[in-house]
Structure 1
Amino acid sequence: MQRGASIFSSMARADATISIPENIEGYDENSQVPCVLLRDEGELQKRIHVIGSHDLSLDIIRDMLKIRHPSMEFLSTHTGSLSGLFAIKKGISDLCTTHILDEREGVYNIPAIKKYLEHIPCILINIAKRMQGLIVKKGNPKGIKGITDLGRDDIRFINRQPGSGTRFLLDAQLKEAGIDKHNIRGYDREESSHTAVAVMVKESVADTGIAIYGVTKIFSLDFIPLVEEDFDLLVTKTFTEDERFTMLIDLIQSKEFKGRLDSLGGYNTKETGTIKYVNG
């Protein structure tokens, strides 16, 4: 009964339930399992669900979509860029957000799509270019100047989860700087969003972490820029024929959306809404 509150909370968010017989431990991935819907099918069709990387732009999309189309619901699950790509590959989702840098080519997302989604028709749309950097407390009390400082004994770092674009970025930066990840205090401490990293720094749980510029304004932190990267939306060709895609792309290409991103700071919206790549 100690877990009762969390169970009820999960039930409140669930769309369906499944029953697992006592004589089996569970179902294998991709198994077809009967379920009982907790919501009307029509309600589920009024939902846009994105899986992948986290960004403040997703909150703006959620807010604007609700205003423009009150019956619609926008959900984002922050599992990291690579998990988002695999969600599309496995047919779990039609949309994912991603910012995976290919070290060899110096290109974001397209090489990863070619590698993991070779035969899946989809299009890549730019949401925005954004600044990623090290975030620190106001005044930068530890005097952190860049990636090389992460190897200092007095610096506590907070990382992002494996498979996230930010984790790929960190590892590439460490490799370039010749820093052994095992020498970083906190490399194995992980959070799943930029805001979670910012909270850890704000509350002095960590001295620094990598996050987008936008969260520094929210939490009154300082920012040490590292790179400008592409934050993109990957959409299956099937979903582009759905009316929900029209709602989404019209919103992303609107002046209002670009204006709201610009007001956050740390975003470059010159290519926002443009199709960068067509796969398959």
Structure 2
Amino acid sequence: MNNNISYTIDEVAQILKISKLTAYDLIKKGDLVAFRVGRQMRVEHEEIERYKSKNRTGAVQEEKNDSREYKKPRNRVKNQVLLSGQDLVLDILSKHIEKNTSLTPLRSYTGSLNSLISMYNGECDVVSVHLYDGDTGEYNLPYVKRLLVSHPFILMNLVCRTAGFYVKKGNPLNIKEWKDLAKAGVTIVNREKGSGARVLLDEQLRINGISKDSVKGYGVELTSHFSIASAVAGGQADVGVGIENAAKMINVDFIPLIKEQYDLVLLKTKENDELVKIMKEAVCSEEFRSQLEQLNGYDLSLTGKIIYES
């Protein structure tokens, strides 16, 4: 009997042969009914069968919008909002919003570049980004302007963080700069395509004239700062790129290399007016800020600042 079985969003996406973001979108519309178990959302087997039966006349497909005009999904569940990004400060922000506002936040743990693309396609409400541009030395704005072309938006700082290398305790291979990644005997572990850490690595390799083919382990991918740090601690790699916070929780040393902006992107549309107001108030609230002050590895000097508004 499958009546008591429930599935994670990843599993729902696999069963229906859709993306995770489309699965979230179906929940936001009310086409799929989900429930929470802690931070995780789950969908019951019966609910998936009901949805499949209802849509039996046509295959489940990814939603497309050939005009590329941003439109929020129709018939969405009232007050649900999807926040995309991987840093734990977003989980704290989500809980703060749920506690203090009328919104019901949903979380998508997707990397910066892929999150921006999802926003462009109308699949996300709030996106977090930390995307380094090697030509300007600037974070985020060059990418957001290019990807959200013709869409008015607000770029607001959430926190600043230090990015660098995770290395084994004592740094036995003396890894200190980007060029050291190409040294003989050094093996890295990489982040997935579309993540901010992957963009940072690729830009630094380009700036320093290092071919990715000369970097051993470049093709080995993991999907979080914690998994990268854990791989280094466990001896599967000598070095990985990530943020300082994870190094304080895993048995590795951290080599700081760059201060990065971790910003939020919101589209400026008439229907987003209330969301923008709520997000600004939440990020600038004393309660949220005091929670962030308890964390290690975060700089709050720009928190709440509007970096750019088109």
Q: TM-score, normalised by structure 1?
A: 0.81
User: SS in structure 2 opposite 1:126?
Assistant: strand
CA-CA distance at 1:152 after TM superposition? 2.5
CA-CA distance at 1:245 after TM superposition? 4.3
CA-CA distance at 1:72 after TM superposition? 5.2
Question: Hey, what does 1:50 align to over in structure 2?
Answer: 83
* Count of residue correspondences: 265
1:258 matched to 2:289? The reply is yes
CA distance in 1, matches of 2:261, 2:293: 15
After superposition, residues 30-49 of structure 1 pair within 5 angstroms as: 30=64, 44-49=77-82
Question: Hey, what does 1:190 align to over in structure 2?
Answer: 221
After superposition, residues 56-205 of structure 1 pair within 5 angstroms as: 56-68=88-100, 73-205=104-236
CA distance in 1, matches of 2:281, 2:58: 47
The question of whether the paired residues in 1 share the 8 Å contact of 2:81 and 2:125 is answered with no
CA-CA distance at 1:57 after TM superposition? 1.4
Question: Hey, what does 2:267 align to over in structure 1?
Answer: 236
C-alpha distance after superposition, 1:1-56 (max 9, x if no partner): 9xxx997443562497543988977635428xxxxxxxxx89x43433112x4223
Q: Which amino acid aligns with 1:148?
A: K
User: SS in structure 2 opposite 1:263?
Assistant: coil
Equivalent position to 1:27, from 51, 57, 61: 61
Question: Hey, what does 1:275 align to over in structure 2?
Answer: 306
Structure 2: which 5+ runs fail to align? 13-33, 35-41, 66-74
CA distance in 2, matches of 1:173, 1:164: 14
Q: Which amino acid aligns with 2:135?
A: R
Q: Which amino acid aligns with 1:206?
A: A
Asked which structure has the greater RCO (Cα within 8 Å, sep 6+), the reply is: 1
CA distance in 2, matches of 1:215, 1:6: 34
The question of whether the paired residues in 1 share the 8 Å contact of 2:7 and 2:43 is answered with no
CA-CA distance at 1:113 after TM superposition? 1.9
The question of whether the paired residues in 2 share the 8 Å contact of 1:56 and 1:214 is answered with no
Q: Which amino acid aligns with 2:156?
A: I
Structure 1: which 5+ runs fail to align? 32-40
CA-CA distance at 1:191 after TM superposition? 1.8
CA distance in 2, matches of 1:271, 1:210: 23
Q: 1:23 to 1:250 in 2, by over 3 A?
A: closer
CA distance in 2, matches of 1:76, 1:184: 34
The question of whether the paired residues in 2 share the 8 Å contact of 1:100 and 1:168 is answered with yes
The question of whether the paired residues in 2 share the 8 Å contact of 1:78 and 1:192 is answered with no
CA distance in 1, matches of 2:299, 2:121: 32
- Over the matched positions of the two proteins, sequence identity in percent amounts to 34
**RMSD, aligned CA:** 3.1
